[in-house]
Amino acid sequence: MSTKLIAPSILAADFANLQRDIEMVNKSEADWFHIDIMDGVFVPNISFGMPVLQAISKHAKKTIDVHLMIVEPDRYIKTFADLGSNILTVHYEACNHLHRTLQAIKAEGMQAGVALNPHTNINVLEDTINDIDLVCIMSVNPGFGGQSFIENTYNKVKQLKELILKKGASTKIEIDGGVTNKNAKKLADAGADVLVAGSYVFKSTNQIETIRDLNAIANS
């Protein structure tokens, strides 16, 4: 069994103490920083943008996984590479020319990710799966932290895992939204490789311990 990764979502951090929260992730057992960029158009919320990511990058010592919830993501691929993104995930629903977008992300030296909204079927990735490094299955409707997990996600993880195996792809499966100690094991068993967790980590009293527990559950 491959190692399951934990990616705390900085959206749920205390923005007035961002450096403190980044250092916490640095010294925890977490694997990645998950960074949510929202434009108020693709999703009904605005999170934060480039200057904040630049500040995060300065202190973050782990992989920076950027989740773009924006329209026309192609316009900003180079910008996000320059800001230190290691993985750049765009939404399937925001791309008219997904194949071209994936190539453009890789040409900037980043890994290419595709996120799917809860209503989007896995089979739309049949023809691109071999070009995708990471598929982010949204287990809530994107736009906000702290929402409850959509149960149909387990079926989607299994379907995606089958597609990846059928096509001989090396794509990682990431789950984003409502992840807790209650669903982590079942998600990992279904085939998830990366678990994003925002509120569950940052609203807990001992964040380091919460990350350690989540990691242990996902890898049990």
Alpha carbons 13 and 145: distance in angstroms, whole number:
11
Q: Which residues contact 4 (CB under 8 A, 6 or more apart)?
A: 188, 192, 193, 194, 195, 215, 218, 219
Select from 105-113, 161-169, 173-181, 204-212 the region that touches ligand DX5 (CB under 6 A). Answer: 173-181
* Smallest distance, Zn ion to C-beta of residue 165, A: 25
Q: Is 176 a catalytic residue?
A: yes
The least distance separating Zn ion from the CB of residue 176, rounded to whole angstroms, comes to 4
Beta bridge partners of 176: 138, 196
User: Of 7, 24, 67, 85, which one interacts with Zn ion (CB under 5 A)?
Assistant: 67
Question: Of Zn ion, ligand DX5, none, which one sits near residue 73, judging by CB under 5 to 8 A according to partner kind?
Answer: none
Phi, psi of 109 (to 5 degrees): 85, 10
| CB closer to Zn ion out of 100 and 197 | 197
- Phi, psi of 163, deg, nearest 5: -60, -45
Q: Which position's Cβ is nearest ligand DX5? A: 198
198 binds ligand DX5 per the rule CB under 6 A: yes
- The strand order across the sheet containing 87-91 reads 5-8, 194-197, 172-176, 134-138, 111-116, 87-91, 63-69, 32-38
How far CA 142 is from CA of 52, 68, 100, 176, in Å, comes to 20, 10, 23, 9
Distance of closest approach, residue 70 Cβ to ligand DX5, in angstroms:
12
Please state, as a whole number, how many other Cβ atoms lie within 10 Å of the Cβ of residue 113: 25
36 belongs to the catalytic site: yes
Compose the 23-62 pattern: x for residues touching Zn ion by CB under 5 A, - for all others: -------------x--------------------------
The yes or no reply on residue 176 touching Zn ion (CB under 5 A) is yes
**Under the criterion CB under 6 A, does residue 65 sit at the interface with ligand DX5?**
no
Name the residues annotated as catalytic. Answer: 36, 176
- Residues near ligand DX5, by CB under 6 A: 9, 11-12, 34, 36, 67, 140, 142-147, 176-179, 196-200
List of residues contacting Zn ion (CB under 5 A): 36, 67, 176
